[in-house]
Structure 1
Amino acid sequence: MSDPNHATQNVFDGTVQFPVLILRQDALTNNLAEMRGFCADNDVTLAPHCKTHLSPELWRMQQEWGAEIATVATVAQAAALFEHGVRRILIANEVVDRAGLRAMSDMRREDPGFQISMLVDSIEAVTLIERILEEVAADLPPLPVLVELGARGLRSGARTLEEVIEVATAASATRVLDLVGVEGYEGVFGKLSGAERDRAIDAYLDSGVVAVRELIDRGLVEAPAIATFGGSRFYPAVVERVRGALSPSEATVILRSGCYLTHDHGTYAASHADVPSRVGKPRLSPGMEVWGVVLSLPEPGLAIAGVGKRDVSYDEGMPVPLAIRRDDVVSELTGVSVTRLNDQHAFIRVSPDSVPLRIGDLIAFGISHPCTTFDKWRTAYIVDEDYSVESVAHTLFH
């Protein structure tokens, strides 16, 4: 792996070891501007899911372009960002273990201005959290929580409006919790397709609107309540169904889309094009590439490159060969595809119509699903159009 402390001027200047993760600054800037405009046009707040990259530098970039809250999945992720100065965090998950709740309390105690919230989805969870917080955080203000709205058979979350009300009532009755709204994740319906998927998402988001209004009407949450939905695929539906139904006086609508920053060449590119929208969509560009070296040409039609499961995501599709660099020239690469990965090797099928590959060629691979590429790296070079290094982003994954 390349040394990020080395005075690298260009990823091809001979100082960078391959494989290497690069982020294209032009794509990042485009995506940041597009999402900021989309959120401003539709009066929604952006709280990007920072588990995508878990990078202080990339979070600060998002913050400079309008993101207000960092979303994470675990207390460890929250603590990592807290250590780098992030002071508004949403844990889009429940925390019910003593160590996790104690760590959250320690951060709040260390900085009284620190804002952190989390989810609850059952009376049992509320009861357990209350007992622990009474022991470890009795000196602190109530911890903000949101009731998680789920769907039968899919992830966590209260399954019915009645359950949402029960959980909200239990949380509101405690001294240590402050109920602030409703949370959900419409992405659980992503395995469905076409009209069936769209109907399921619409019905789910409509039930979220009903839940927010019901909690306000019952005096369980103050208006404007928080209504936070929006993964990286179907967030236009959140704007249409949730923001379109709830006035600003009723709810602050928060999107948690995380993968917009880099987009991808696979699952998000396909779903972004496929998702219908009456409220417009950001025009996103793929900005993440992993470059590797052709190591072997063991038989006709097969090339093996030094990029594998340790370097690129493969849970939502194989990496996509994009370009080749040979004799200091980068050009488009067609007629090749990755058929499988080993830990450190990509098996590339080379068609007769492709440029013949040579040992030592450098290949750029686009990826599908940024989250499970970022977590394989500790550094990423942010480059201009000529692959000159503009800055370095560090990740905080364990």
Structure 2
Amino acid sequence: MSEGLELHKGVGGNAEQPWNLLAGDVPFPAAVLDEGSISHNLDWMRRFIDAYGMALAPHGKTTMAPKLFGRQVQAGAWGITVATSQQARVAAAHGIRRILIANQVVGAANIASLMDLLAIEGMELFCLVDSPAGAASLGDACRTRGAELNVLVELAPERDQPGFRTGVRDEEQLGALLTELDRWKGHLRLAGVEFYEGVLPDEAQVRRFVRRAVSVTRALREEGRLERTPAIFSGAGSAWYDIVAEESAELAQSGDVEVVLRPGCYISHDDGLYRAAQERILERNPVAPTLGDALRPALRIWAVVQSVPDPARAVVAMGKRDVAFDAGLPRPVKMFRPGRDARPVDVPAHWEVTGLMDQHAYLQIAPGDDIAVGDVLVFDISHPCLTFDKWRRLLVVDEEFCCIDVVDTFF
């Protein structure tokens, strides 16, 4: 059993006889996490962040799995990022005490949730502001509750850039926001600057945006407006975190600004969208190739062939309810025939998923291929965010496909 993991009571009853994916113990389809790959990915990202002298607050919306949040914090994460007040409540309920809400929080009930979180002992909470109206709503709630909230100015790409996102887009908007924040001293504490570069289409646009964010942060620091020491400078999704690290490295070395990167998909990675992004990172970044093996896909879907209606097509009991399909269809990589195979074997390269229904996948094969009803197929996925949110429980397995843990999600 892997260090730090305890057998979940629902995964086989006892440590001597855990469920095994190859023994018919697990109903399929199932979402399966490989423990070896998770451990590798946690270590890889920690070493990347350490190489740049930065902090990591992984975006928890990817998994919404507090058990994985805990492992990320144990592996050195500074905190956890979320997108909504509901997600922040989940993180807080499971012991996370530094939470960055990388979003505007609006609406009376949502803001009330923030006030409740601020009352938790040891909680350090951050959220974003990009308008006087948003700042006023937060400030009024803090004044009513006698609280103080850390806020980050959210920057958006400039008007002549193609990315569209919430955030301050020009100096006029920034000035208006700062004037409003001055009204709420003692209730809203300007802790730093935040941005999200993932809406931009290419490296040149991303670098330009990050450089602007660095410039704004330096200006606010020089003007004495940043009230947290060290101030926070935070950005970076899972595709451009290396560019953000490079462009903000000098800022991180200044000593009075903490650069907090927020990639969320690294813990599970994938075999599509983020595999391609990681390949680009390895090509352009000087640090990533020095860290050994790259990030590994850790999340796969296991499903059963339920019909072979004609020589060129099989139907698999897995569909849109089970796997992401927005950034590429799942890709079959392994198969296992109970009673024949000791371990999963590679599938033919020409097998391809051509379409998904709610509970069915159409698998293109060739006449004469060795595939039968009851065969178990293993699929790599593209875009882990929209696979995690389809499951309330995921199995963690070791190298012998024994289930050593269960991960619960809270979407």
**Aligned match for 2:93, one of 78, 83, 91:** 83
Query: Quick check: 1:220 aligned with 2:225?
Result: yes
Post-superposition shift, 1:246? Answer: 4.7
Post-superposition shift, 1:300? Answer: 1.9
Post-superposition shift, 1:251? Answer: 1.4
Find the counterpart in structure 1 of residue 335 from structure 2. Answer: 324
In the alignment, residue 377 of structure 1 is paired with which amino acid? W
Scaled by the length of structure 1, what TM-score is found? 0.92
Structure 2 vs 1, CA of residues 90 and 362 (structure 1 numbering), >3 Å: closer, same or farther?
same
Range with bigger deviation, 147-156 or 309-318: 147-156
- Conserved in 2, the CA contact under 8 Å of 1:209 and 1:246? no
Post-superposition shift, 1:272? Answer: 1.3
Structure 2 distance, partners of 1:51, 1:81, is: 10
In the alignment, residue 170 of structure 1 is paired with which amino acid? E
Find the counterpart in structure 2 of residue 390 from structure 1. Answer: 404
Structure 2 vs 1, CA of residues 246 and 114 (structure 1 numbering), >3 Å: closer, same or farther?
closer
**Aligned match for 1:360, one of 374, 388, 392:** 374
Find the counterpart in structure 2 of residue 381 from structure 1. Answer: 395
Question: In angstroms, what is the RMSD of aligned CA positions?
Answer: 1.7
Query: Quick check: 1:178 aligned with 2:181?
Result: no
Structure 1 distance, partners of 2:218, 2:252, is: 8
**Aligned match for 2:19, one of 9, 16, 34:** 9
Identity of aligned residues (%): 36
Structure 1 distance, partners of 2:199, 2:221, is: 26
Alignment of 1:75-154 (within 5 A): 75-109=85-119, 111-135=120-144, 137=145, 139-140=146-147, 142-151=148-157, 152=159, 154=164
Structure 2 distance, partners of 1:245, 1:277, is: 21
Post-superposition shift, 1:170? Answer: 2.1
Find the counterpart in structure 1 of residue 6 from structure 2. Answer: none
Structure 2 distance, partners of 1:29, 1:362, is: 26
1:338-391 CA-to-partner distances (Å, cap 9, x unmatched) read 111100111111135x84211100000111011100011111111111211121
In the alignment, residue 336 of structure 1 is paired with which amino acid? W
Structure 2 distance, partners of 1:204, 1:4, is: 48
Structure 2 distance, partners of 1:113, 1:393, is: 26
Post-superposition shift, 1:48? Answer: 0.2
Query: Quick check: 1:349 aligned with 2:383?
Result: no
Range with bigger deviation, 343-352 or 22-31: 343-352
Range with bigger deviation, 143-152 or 268-277: 268-277
In the alignment, residue 103 of structure 1 is paired with which amino acid? S
Range with bigger deviation, 160-169 or 363-372: 160-169
Range with bigger deviation, 326-335 or 178-187: 326-335
DSSP 3-state at the match of 1:112? coil
In the alignment, residue 264 of structure 1 is paired with which amino acid? D
Post-superposition shift, 1:169? Answer: 3.6
Query: Quick check: 1:25 aligned with 2:32?
Result: no
Structure 2 distance, partners of 1:359, 1:248, is: 62
Range with bigger deviation, 295-304 or 3-12: 3-12
Alignment of 1:63-78 (within 5 A): 63-78=73-88
Post-superposition shift, 1:10? Answer: 1.1
Alignment of 1:245-264 (within 5 A): 245-264=251-270
DSSP 3-state at the match of 2:335? strand
1:72-125 CA-to-partner distances (Å, cap 9, x unmatched) read 00111111121111111110001121111111111222x231111100011121
Find the counterpart in structure 2 of residue 201 from structure 1. Answer: 206
Find the counterpart in structure 1 of residue 276 from structure 2. Answer: 270
1:236-259 CA-to-partner distances (Å, cap 9, x unmatched) read 001100123453324100000000
- Conserved in 2, the CA contact under 8 Å of 1:230 and 1:238? yes
Structure 2 distance, partners of 1:5, 1:389, is: 6
Structure 1 distance, partners of 2:286, 2:379, is: 32
Structure 2 distance, partners of 1:168, 1:231, is: 26
Structure 1 distance, partners of 2:246, 2:95, is: 34
**Aligned match for 1:231, one of 218, 227, 237:** 237
Structure 2 distance, partners of 1:97, 1:266, is: 36
Scaled by the length of structure 2, what TM-score is found? 0.89
DSSP 3-state at the match of 1:244? helix
In the alignment, residue 131 of structure 2 is paired with which amino acid? S
- Conserved in 1, the CA contact under 8 Å of 2:41 and 2:268? yes
- Conserved in 2, the CA contact under 8 Å of 1:27 and 1:287? yes
Structure 1 distance, partners of 2:284, 2:213, is: 19
In the alignment, residue 41 of structure 1 is paired with which amino acid? A
Aligned residues: 384
DSSP 3-state at the match of 1:21? strand
Structure 2 distance, partners of 1:301, 1:172, is: 68
- Conserved in 2, the CA contact under 8 Å of 1:292 and 1:364? yes
Find the counterpart in structure 1 of residue 5 from structure 2. Answer: none
